[in-house]
Amino acid sequence: MDHRETVDTYWRAIDARDWPTLRGLLAPDVRYEVPQSSELVRGPEAVVRFNAEYPGAWRLSPLRIVADAQGAASWIDFRLDGESMTGLTFFTFDKAGRVATAIDFWPEPYERPADRAHLSELQ
Amino acid sequence: MDHRETVDTYWRAIDARDWPTLRGLLAPDVRYEVPQSSELVRGPEAVVRFNAEYPGAWRLSPLRIVADAQGAASWIDFRLDGESMTGLTFFTFDKAGRVATAIDFWPEPYERPADRAHLSELQ
């Protein structure tokens, strides 16, 4: 499985609550990190549990995956209690191709700053 | 120049205020987007101007670049008026390898939600 397939399978396993498949994609020393909130989850059991017990009614779908020999990045749509959120993740892998680190970011909407309003249009 | 080199050159040109180099990397119908604020900038001249006139004292450095035949993603450290910010960008390219779309995200710190506090440690 190449890195792109691994990331695609990772997200589809989480969305399907298929914990044995997710577990099989993770390196023994996997780290899941959320830099915005300083959250760190270490080891496959804890990473599976983080996803299995993540609160709320949620579904996700990958929108873009970029992958090369060193790593990967993905952009997912995450629907939490009916609200659409953007999830961006940077991955690294061990030599067996398992996920070694997954670093998640959750950007939130904000208002265009006035001091750069002359430089863009609004979609 | 492959997609990884294009993205690396794009960021180094912006940091160096080297507008002719940046201009040369952009497709004629390039689109720069910031989904969080709904900002859209169309065309090479407007994209160069957005960067050239971006307010504040800023420097940037790329931390990670992932690239494949279809696209690329980058993670940069952006220092604005002494504050460190995270910039995440997904790129697509035209057939000549020029940047066709650059979609930027700027995740901000937040407090770990109480309802998932039992699932992680704090770094």
| Each residue's pLDDT tens digit, B33-82 | 999 999 999 999 999 999 999 999 999 999 999 999 999 999 999 999 98
Q: Distances in Å between the alpha carbon of B20 and those of A68, A80, B7, B26, B55?
A: 29, 44, 15, 10, 20
Task: Give contacts of B88 with chain A, Cβ < 8 Å.
Answer: 88, 105, 107
A99 closest CA partner among A12, A14, A10: A10
Chain B nearest CA to A26, separation (Å): 17
- Cβ contact (<8 Å) for A53 and B108? no
ipTM of the complex: 0.96
For residue A119, list chain B residues with Cβ-Cβ distance below 8 A: 41, 46, 49-50, 53-54
Q: Please answer whether residues A100 and A27 qualify as being in contact, where contact means their C-beta atoms are separated by less than 8 angstroms.
A: yes
Q: How many CB pairs under 8 A join A and B?
A: 142
pTM to 2 decimal places: 0.97
Residue range B92-103: mean pLDDT, rounded? 98
B45 close to A (CB below 8 A): no
User: Is A119 in Cβ contact with B54 (below 8 Å)?
Assistant: yes
Q: Tell me what the mean pLDDT of segment A29-53 comes to.
A: 98
Whether residues A66 and B64 touch (CB distance < 8 A) is answered with no
